[in-house]
Amino acid sequence: MRLDTNTHPIIEGQYLRDILDQPRALTATLGRLELPKELDVVARRLREGQIKRVVLTGMGASFHALHPLFLELNGYGYTAVRIETSELIHSLQRWFEPETLIIAISQSGQSAEVVRLIEENRSRAAIVGITNDADSALALGANASILTMAGEEFSVSCKTYVTTLMALRLLGGFLCGCDASQTREELAQSVPAVASYLRNWKNHVFELTAEIGRIHHLFLLGRGASLAATGEGALIVKESVRLHAEGMSGAAFRHGPLEMVNGETFAVVFAGADTTRRLQARLLDDIRHAGGRAGWIAEDASPGAWKLPETPPAVRPIVEILPVQMMTLALAADAGMEAGRFARIPKITTME
């Protein structure tokens, strides 16, 4: 179906410009991404068992970006937990001790929760911070800081999200003893992959506007590392076009929400890793058989907006979010609004 662009014009704004700036942001981050020497001590203590647990913490997009690292660290044999910073500072301060390593993510480094984390921890647990601002509270208050080079971002997290994923992949590889040069070679493949996908952004948006149409229920469903994209995807839909969306595992969707499926339901299903791909494909079929509509995000999807560029599995989380970004633009075009222009919230959340 060909979309009439006069009926559904794309209102181009700064959020779109940030989306299209992602290849540059990834290139800049990879070129200047350095692991501080202080991490050598942290890694040694972790390997020797002096650190008993790794706490991965953040809020919003930063929290969702942590899921692939959570899987990687636990798969390697470390004990890692993932918890929102708000819950950590108010309910689990017993983890503020020398046997804990905290990996804290905040794109601004100035959000209310991360500032309080620095204050409440009082240097008891070592903190590794990943942020986009070298002068932020997180960068200055952490024991070791890793900086992304996304540049200024207007509103919805897009280039800060993908550059954070890049930094987390490098950090995870270091803590798990991976070859650093090989990790960088893999990460370098994300740049041409993202650039090639975004070259067709207008076609992607027009295609999705025609396919999705007006909906009342939007679900994003994944497993494994793809849960980063389901959480972040649902968040950016709510932020950018003020439409309710829910991200969850494909397994959780069968435990109740599948009952909601009807003609006003659209589900975005991530194929994800080979180990659970068959389960996701069966879920896709079941949603369609129940009368719902769905998109299949995979490397072998039909050519168009849902089709992912080929990348190593460890880099897939970076490209998986791209179709959802296109979907936010399509939903905004259908609603006749500019995507990503906040009306009620600031870019940096400074109030708990």
Query: pLDDT for 156-171, tens place per residue?
Result: 999 999 999 999 999 9
- The answer as to whether 16 is a domain residue is no
Based on the fold, state whether residues 227 and 144 are members of the same structural domain. Answer: no
Average pLDDT of the chain to the nearest whole number: 95
Global pTM exceeds 0.85? yes
Whether residue 4 is contained in a domain is answered as no
The verdict on residue 11 lying in a domain is no
Domain CATH number, residue 298: 3.40.50.10490
Residues 48 and 69 in one domain: yes
Tracing tokens 């839909």 back to the chain, one arrives at 237
Do 186 and 199 have their domain in common?
A: no
350 part of a folded domain: no
Query: pLDDT tens per residue, the chain (352 residues)?
Result: 334 454 678 999 999 999 999 999 999 999 999 999 999 999 999 999 999 999 999 999 999 999 999 999 999 999 999 999 999 999 999 999 999 999 999 999 999 999 999 999 999 999 999 999 999 999 999 999 999 999 999 999 999 999 999 999 999 999 999 999 999 999 999 999 999 999 999 999 999 999 998 899 999 999 999 999 999 999 999 999 999 999 999 999 999 999 999 999 999 999 999 999 999 999 999 999 999 999 999 999 999 999 999 999 999 999 999 999 999 999 999 999 999 999 888 888 888 9
Decide the pairing of beta strands 265-270 and 293-297: parallel
User: Is 100 within the bounds of a domain?
Assistant: yes
Q: What is the DSSP string of 14-75?
A: HHHHHHHTHHHHHHHHHHH----THHHHHHHHHHTTS--EEEEEESTHHHHHTHHHHHHHHH
Residues 119 and 87 in one domain: yes
Shared domain for 219 and 303, answered yes or no, is yes
Cα separation, 302 vs 90, in Å, equals: 47
Q: What is the DSSP letter of 307?
A: B
On whether residue 349 sits in a domain, the answer given is no
Does residue 75 belong to any structural domain of this protein?
yes
Domains: count for the chain:
2
Residue finishing a domain among 191, 209, 228: 191
pLDDT of residue 348: 86
Do residues 163 and 57 share a domain? yes
**Closest CA relative to residue 272, chosen from 300, 294, 293:** 300
Cα separation, 34 vs 49, whole angstroms: 25
Closest of 256, 247, 240, 197 to residue 221, by C-alpha? 247
Distances (CA, A) of 224 to 62, 79, 208, 256, 286: 17, 17, 25, 20, 20
The residue among 191, 206, 240 that closes a domain is 191
270 and 252 housed in the same domain: yes
Q: At what angle do helices 159-175 and 67-76 cross, to 10 degrees?
A: 10
Return the residue matching tokens 């993932």. Answer: 82
Check whether residue 169 and residue 305 sit in a common domain. Answer: no
Distance CA 329, CA 304 (A): 15
Among 136, 160, 191, which residue terminates a domain? 191
Is 201 in the same domain as 330? Answer: yes
Let me know whether 30 and 175 are in one domain: yes
Contact assessment for residue 123 and residue 102, using Cβ atoms and an 8 Å cutoff: no
State the residue for tokens 């942290």: 42
Q: Could you tell me the residue range of the domain that residue 250 belongs to? A: 193-335
Instruction: Report if residue 345 sits inside a domain.
Output: no
Report the pLDDT value the prediction gives residue 7, as an integer from 0 to 100.
61
Let me know whether 229 and 86 are in one domain: no
83 lies in the same domain as 126: yes
Alpha carbon distance 201, 218 (integer Å): 21
pLDDT at 2: 38
